[in-house]
Chains A and B, each alone.
Chain A
Amino acid sequence: MNDQVSAPSPVARLIRELNRLPGIGIKSAQRLAYYIIRLPSEEVEGIAESILGVKDKIIYCSVCQNLTEVDPCELCNDPHRNNGIICVVEEPLDVLAIERAGFYKGYYHVLHGVVSPMNGIGPGDLRIKELLPRLNNDAVKEVILGVNPTLEGDATSMYIQRLISPLGIKVTNLARGLPIGGQLEYADAVTLNRAYQGRIEL
Chain B
Amino acid sequence: MSGNRLYRVEGLVLKTSFLGDRDVLVTLIASDGSKLTAMAWGARKLTSRKMGHIEQLNQIDVTLYRGRNMPSISQVQSMDNFQILKGNLERLSQSLYITELVDGFAMEANSNPELYTLFLDCLHALQDSNANHMIVPFFQFNLLSVCGHMPELYRCVECGHVLDSYSNRFCIELGGLLCDNCKPELWRVRFVNDDTIDILRLFNSSPNFPRSSTTSEDIYRELRSILDKSIRYWLDKDVQSSDFMDHVGRYSREQVV
Which residues of A are at the interface with B, using a C-beta cutoff of 8 A?
23, 115, 117-120, 122-123, 150-151, 154-155, 158-159, 162, 179, 181-183, 186-191, 193
Contacts and interface: CB of A to CB of B under 8 A. Distances in A.
B52 A189 contact: yes
Given A117-B97, A122-B244, A158-B92, A186 B48 contact: yes
Contacts of B240: 117-120
Given A151-B55, A179-B46, A189-B78, A118 B251 contact: no
B49 interface: yes
A166 B99 CA distance: 31
B35 interface: no
B55 A155 contact: no
Interface of B: 15, 20, 46-49, 51-53, 55-57, 78, 81, 83, 86-89, 92-93, 96-97, 99-100, 103, 240-241, 243-245, 247-248, 251
A26 to B, nearest CB: 14
Contacts of A181: 46
B57 A151 contact: yes
Contacts of B103: 118
B245 A117 contact: yes
A120 B55 CA distance: 19
Contacts, number: 74
A117 B244 contact: yes
Which 4 pairs show the lowest CB-CB distances between chains A and B?
A: A188-B52, A117-B241, A117-B244, A120-B240
Nearest to B244: A117
Contacts of B48: 186
Contacts of B86: 151, 154
Nearest to A188: B52
Contacts of B49: 186-188
B96 A190 contact: no
A23 B86 CA distance: 29
Given A120-B240, A151-B57, A188 B96 contact: no
A158 B245 CA distance: 13
Contact of B47 (A119, A120, A186): A186
Contacts of B56: 151
A198 B96 CA distance: 26
Contacts of A120: 240-241, 243
B27 to A, nearest CB: 11
Given A117-B241, A154-B92, A159-B89, 4 more contacts: A118-B100, A151-B86, A186-B46, A187-B52
